[in-house]
Structure 1
Amino acid sequence: MWTFFLLPFSWLYAAVMGFRNWLYEAGWKKSESFAVPLLNVGNLRVGGTGKTPHVMWLVEELLRQGHRPAILSRGYGRLTRGPRVAGPSDSAATVGDEPWQYFQEFAARHVPVAVAEKRQLGVRLLLKQYPETTVVVLDDAFQHRAVRPTLNVLLTEWARPFYQDYVLPAGRLRESRHGARRADVIIVTKCPPGLSVAAQALVLQRVRHYSRPQVAVLFSSYAYGQPVALAANVADAPAALRPVSASGQPALLLTGIAQPSPLRMYLEEQGYAIEHHAAFPDHHAFQPQDLTRLRGHWQPGWPIFTTEKDATRLQAPLVRAAWAGLPLYTIPVRVAFPGAGGAALRSLLPPAPAAAS
């Protein structure tokens, strides 16, 4: 009902974004290119399409191929401003939860992570401080037209595809569906396991209505790992607090992400009975009282699950003290491409300099 009344505002917003895109395409506004390739992972929809695990997949693959990649994000939700390279003294508060997760994952492999509202300033900072960088992976820069990606990867969620959505405020799109024409590859994310060829063909037909004909359309799903105890609990946790058999095991779930339902479904499929789900908005800054309320639902022997992204915000000193002694576990999530999808995406990546002809 409300969608109908909000549509005029959506049309106005879409027109503004369309005019802005036209200014870039006509050359009235400039997009900056750089000496190294820029690989952008973005979406048309606000939040929840799976950018973080896809960025991590790309970085892992680039490392495997011999690249020296760097990661650049806006740093949404951070308390700082301006270009900044993440370091050991930073946190989710200073660089944002996703960049801090990247830093924790890749610092030991010498992958620099930077944040900047103006991505061109962030790229310049990375190349100045890390001149050995051979490729920069941009997290969520599909609408940031001031830089020109070498490869534009557009993500759309299986359960909420962009072609069924509307522009803000009637829907959740940041721009018109026709923005998909800027994509060099489109990935339908969070697909159910065993997705049939017929189901893929139906989605492909709908996507093709908005994309360029030659663009590859791939499908990906989540692959969840074994629970990992948060570091602050490992030393003191008795054996009873380690992950146990999930046969009807009661558990709690704590999330502050846009789309927690796939994780909850996975845990329930594993046999966990989610007795309480403390679901907060995306990028929620956890407070001690959030954990105090969570304790009210917990009983000894029940594991509490959260995401790797949420764990970065649970490490703030006051918040960490609030969950001390609780059996808190993260569930690692990675991306899997059925069939030849992974090979198709690899073929679009730039060659490492040593392998270039």
Structure 2
Amino acid sequence: MSFPRLLRSFLWPLSLVYGGAVRARVWMYQKGWLKQRRLEAAVISVGNLTVGGTGKTPMVIWLAEKFLADGKRVGILSRGYRGSNGTSDEIELMKFRLQGRVAFGVGKDRFAAGKRLESQQPIDIFLLDDGFQHLQLARDLDILLMDASRPMQGEFLLPAGRLREPLSAMSRANLVVFSRAETVPGTFEAIDKLSRFPVFGSATRLLGFRRFGGDFSLQSKEQIGVGPFFAFCGLGNPDAFFRDLRNWGLAICGQAIFPDHYRYRERDILRIKQAAKQTGANAFVTTEKDAQNLLGRNVEETPLYICVIDLVVSPEADFRNILDEMLAVRTRAVA
């Protein structure tokens, strides 16, 4: 979200009002005037301070995979933003990646969704997707993601800027993870110097490419050909996707940007095909999230490859130790 300077100056008074309301809400929860409700299972919140993508969905998938590998029974609670009928593009993406191994509770009232799941099956850990501002639900650990590639110095609160809360809200987080740290030289080195603090870095790692409409198998960069590729996406931070493609060595001859969570229509597909033809593209490339919004659309004439990614958290051992300590404390508390 980037507004011209003049428009930002007009919106700034509204940001002051918004900021006051946000601070008052947090203060009332801290003082107990507004009550949090607690689920029986441990709750780990994954969230951010800004609108736009910071890598919350990949982090939720990463955490779920780690806990599943440890034999934990995992549930994911999500509002289902920009979705309908109890699902959304991000939920469908997580379901596809986790393949029935995780229970999902979707709805505005995450506590009610969690209680429903607990009444149906045993749950050891709930992952609260985009939960930093969802103060209604008590949590045992708050993980706050900050996009290292998008500095927030001088950033305004909504509606004049991207901030959902003041930067001072970072103090509520138990762990701070700077996502896309690999894109900013020196980030991991700086984090290493903060080893006494719960600050970590994460990098986006390419696992491979999946052919849209094909099976689950992944292909390497060499297997999908030299391109050139036409890239398109509907993300909160599209620049990060296009930067990743360049860093992975793909030859990109053109690109198209759509709004976040965009549901593609036939006329959009036609527009993309025409643009690709004009740029000489031999194939398309997009994201896993966009693939969910393309289901039912005909893009078979030209190969469409989906970038499949995960995260590398550093230092991972320290990060896992904090998670394990939290679970041990929670287990003792309910024993």
Query: How would you bin the TM-score normalised by the shorter chain?
Result: 0.7 to 0.9
- Which of 290, 303, 313 is equivalent to 1:327? 303
CA offset digits 1:177-235 (Å, max 9, x no partner): 1111110000011112684368626996xxxxxxxx975011111101221102x2569
Give 1:149 deviation, angstroms.
0.9
The answer to whether 1:122 aligns with 2:102 is: no
The more displaced of 158-167 and 13-22 is: 158-167
Aligned counterpart, 2:61: 56
- Which of 89, 93, 96 is equivalent to 1:101? 93
Distance 1:301 1:201 in 2: 40
- Which of 267, 270, 273 is equivalent to 2:245? 267
Aligned counterpart, 1:251: 229
TM-score, normalization by structure 1: 0.82
Percent identity of paired positions between Structure 1 and Structure 2: 30
Aligned counterpart, 1:289: 267
Give 1:243 deviation, angstroms.
4.3
Equivalent position amino acid for 2:166 in 1: S
Distance 1:260 1:168 in 2: 20
1:216-235 equivalences in 2 (<5 Å): 216-230=198-212, 232-233=213-214
Distance 1:243 1:254, change over 3 A: farther
Equivalent position amino acid for 2:103 in 1: P
Equivalent position amino acid for 2:124 in 1: T
Secondary structure in 2 aligned to 1:347?
helix
Distance 1:29 1:307 in 2: 39
Work out the number of aligned pairs and report it: 318
Equivalent position amino acid for 1:175 in 2: E
Give 1:264 deviation, angstroms.
1.6
Equivalent position amino acid for 2:313 in 1: F
The more displaced of 295-304 and 249-258 is: 295-304
Distance 2:144 2:211 in 1: 33
* RMSD value, Cα: 2.7
Aligned counterpart, 1:32: 37
Equivalent position amino acid for 2:301 in 1: G
Contact 1:102 1:113 (C-alpha < 8 Å) held by counterparts: no
The answer to whether 1:12 aligns with 2:3 is: no
Equivalent position amino acid for 1:112 in 2: A
Aligned counterpart, 1:196: 186
1:121-140 equivalences in 2 (<5 Å): 121-130=112-121, 132-140=122-130
Distance 1:345 1:257 in 2: 27
Equivalent position amino acid for 1:302 in 2: N
Contact 1:156 1:162 (C-alpha < 8 Å) held by counterparts: no
The more displaced of 290-299 and 32-41 is: 290-299
Distance 1:214 1:270 in 2: 33
Equivalent position amino acid for 1:5 in 2: F
Equivalent position amino acid for 1:297 in 2: A
Secondary structure in 2 aligned to 1:311?
helix
Secondary structure in 2 aligned to 1:227?
strand
TM-score, normalization by structure 2: 0.87
Aligned counterpart, 1:111: 102
Distance 1:192 1:115, change over 3 A: same
CA offset digits 1:143-183 (Å, max 9, x no partner): 11110111100001002244542211121111111111110
| Ranges in structure 1 where 5+ consecutive residues have no aligned partner | 81-93, 205-212, 236-241
Distance 1:170 1:331, change over 3 A: same
